[in-house]
Every structure is written in structure tokens, then in C-alpha cells.
Amino acid sequence: MTDPKKRLRRTMLFLNAQRPGLMKDAYIYGADSVMFDLEDAVSENQKDAARFSLYNSLRTLDYGGAERIVRINGLDSPHWEEDVRATVAGGAEGIRIPKCERASDVKSVELAIDSAEREFGRDAGSTLLMAAIESPRGVLNALEICESSPRLFGVALSGGDYRSAMQTKYHPSGVEMLSARGNLLIAARASGVQCFDTVFTDLSDMEGFRAEVILDKEMGFDGKSIINPRQIPIVHEIYAPTEREIMEAERVARSLRENADEGVGVFLLDGKMLDAAFLRGAKRTLALAKASGLYDGEF
């Protein structure tokens, strides 16, 4: 069985947990993960209603295999602990912590989840975590955040607050986010967790969105936060490997397995040195190909 922390997460579709009309149809759009938002999308006087809506949706609706994550309210609010209880009781797969700045933020939520899993009889450790980095301090502390909890499967950059804190704004080249994206990716890769890029908010600029997704893929992001279903097929198309990449990955995986069976760890394939380090990349390519409906082979 695949490690739930390592599952494919090309797209995470944000949905307002206060709007049942949106939540009921979420499965149709084919996002890898759906992100029920209790935070910014929900006004202060509707936090309770959103929680009831979330809990009942989690308990009742079938999301067709999409992962269900809940963005709770910030740790500086009076809402986040009840958000955690509703989320764990409802049985969501994960929680997104907003505005993470240090490892202790993750640990605070981890303690609340421990308690909620005991209270509601859920398996200990079954609720995963991801941390959203929204500030310069969060970017600087990315490594300690990435290494803060065994529940943590990934970190996500949140561009709105970060750009504002850096006294800049969106630029099509992505130059204003370059250092944050790079720092976060390096920290995530160093600690073996996934990394997700920020939302693209201009729905009238699909070409700009496409360019940003290409940049994300080339930089090495695992996926992207999404605010509209129209963005999903573009991400999936860009993240889908080419036929040549799929064939190459399958050859690499097969050669590595055959050589490993014969006790050979390092060898040449078409003049290029290969070892076990290449297997992870090949397997990821094949997993993306499978998710894109392009490959149904043995790996």
C-alpha cells in the first residue's frame, strides 16, 4: 500500500466549507486533493456554521478517492482547536495549518490532533498535516517546520501574505517569489516532504497560470493549490509525462530491478550511469503517468 504521506498531489482545490453547493460537487472536477477552507473564505460570524457543514460533508459525501484536507483557522484565532476536533471527528485525511512560522506551531496542532484522535476513536497518527508558509520568518524557518512532525507530509507556499510582507506584488516572471520558492523546495527535499506552490488568483489570465505551472514543474514542486476547477486540467496536462519520458522511466525502473536481482548496484544504460538514486524519479514519472491515464504497466 502506498504511503499516504507520499500520495500524488498535483492539485489541491480550495472549497469554502460554508457553501454546501460547492462542497457537494467537488468530486467531479478530478482534483487529487480537496481543501475545505474554514479560514479566510469563511467570515468570522459563520465559523460555527462552516464547521457543521464540514463535519456533515466529511461524514456523508463520497469524494471519489480525492484526499480531503481541511484548512483550519490560524493559531492566533479562538477557532482552531474546535476546527481540529470537527476535522478529526469527521475523518478527514489531513489538516493544513495556516501562517506557520516555526516548528512549535506544528507541534501545537499535533498535540490537539493527538487528543482528538483519542476522543473520537480514530487511529493514532492517521490524521496528516501540512504547513502553509506565508511569511519571511516562515520561509527562513522552513527546514525546522519540515522536520517538526512525523505527521507532516508537505509544506505549501502562500503567496498573498508573503508578497505583501516582502513589499512586492505578483510579477509574471515569478522573480518576486523566486527565493521563497527555492528555499521552501530545498527544505522540503532535504527533509523528504512534499512541496506545493501558491494559488494563482487571476482567473482571466489562463496563459499566465499555464506559465506559472510550467515554472512550478520545472522547479520541482509536487503540485499547486487551486482556486477554480478550470485550473485543474491545465496542471494535470503540464504534469503529465511525455511518451518518451514514460518509456525512459520504465526502462530505468526495469534495468534497476534486473541489475539489483543480480547484485549490481551501479551500471551503465545507453552510456549513462544509473544507480538506486534514479529509481525515485523513474517511479514518480510512472506514478504521474498512471494518474494521467497514460500508463498501466507493472511499475
Partner 1 sequence: MGKIGRLNIEPIYTQIFYRRPTTMETGERMEIINEAEVGTIESGDAKVTVAPLGGEIVFELQSSVINQYGRQIRRVVMETLRGLGVTSGRVSVVDRGALDCAIKARVECAVFRSSGFDGRIPWGGEVK
Closest to partner 1 by CB, 61 or 211: 61
Give the chain's radius of gyration (CA, Å): 20
CA–CA gap between residue 94 and residue 76 (Å, rounded): 20
CA–CA gap between residue 88 and residue 118 (Å, rounded): 10
Closest to partner 1 by CB, 77 or 292: 77
Closest to partner 1 by CB, 85 or 163: 85
**What would the grid cell of residue 86 be?**
470537527
Residues 195-254 within binding reach of partner 1 (CB under 8 A):
none
CA–CA gap between residue 250 and residue 283 (Å, rounded): 8
The residue within the footprint of partner 1, chosen from 11, 53, 149, 198 (CB under 8 A), is: 53
Binding of residue 126 to partner 1 (CB under 8 A): no
Closest to partner 1 by CB, 75 or 157: 75
User: Which residues, other chains included, contact 137 with Cβ-Cβ below 8 Å and sequence gap of 6+?
Assistant: 101, 102
CA–CA gap between residue 207 and residue 19 (Å, rounded): 29
* Bridge partners of residue 13, in order along the sequence: 34, 226
Answer yes or no: are the C-beta atoms of 161 and 101 closer than 8 Å. no
Strands 272-274 and 267-269: antiparallel
Strands 33-37 and 11-16: parallel
CA–CA gap between residue 198 and residue 160 (Å, rounded): 8
Binding of residue 163 to partner 1 (CB under 8 A): no
Closest to partner 1 by CB, 54 or 187: 54
Binding of residue 92 to partner 1 (CB under 8 A): no
Binding of residue 28 to partner 1 (CB under 8 A): no
Reported as half-sphere exposure (CB side, CA atoms, 13 A), residue 241 has a value of: 21
Report the nearest approach of partner 1 to the CB of residue 51 (Å): 7
Binding of residue 22 to partner 1 (CB under 8 A): yes
Binding of residue 21 to partner 1 (CB under 8 A): yes
Between the CA of residue 231 and those of 29, 87, 174, 224, 246, what are the distances in Å? 10, 26, 18, 10, 24
Binding of residue 51 to partner 1 (CB under 8 A): yes
Closest to partner 1 by CB, 25 or 243: 25
Of 18-26, 36-44, 69-77, 187-195, the segment contacting partner 1 by CB under 8 A is 18-26
Count of residues touching partner 1 (by CB under 8 A): 23
Of 4-12, 84-92, 168-176, 196-204, the segment contacting partner 1 by CB under 8 A is 84-92
- Cα 131 from chain centre: 9
The residue within the footprint of partner 1, chosen from 104, 107, 118, 120 (CB under 8 A), is: 120
Return the SS3 of 46: helix
Binding of residue 89 to partner 1 (CB under 8 A): yes
Report the nearest approach of partner 1 to the CB of residue 88 (Å): 8
Binding of residue 185 to partner 1 (CB under 8 A): no
Quickly tell me which residue has 467570515 as its cell: 43
The residue within the footprint of partner 1, chosen from 86, 129, 157, 180 (CB under 8 A), is: 86
Q: Which residues bind partner 1 (CB under 8 A)?
A: 19-22, 24-25, 48-49, 51-53, 55-57, 59-61, 82, 85-86, 89-90, 120
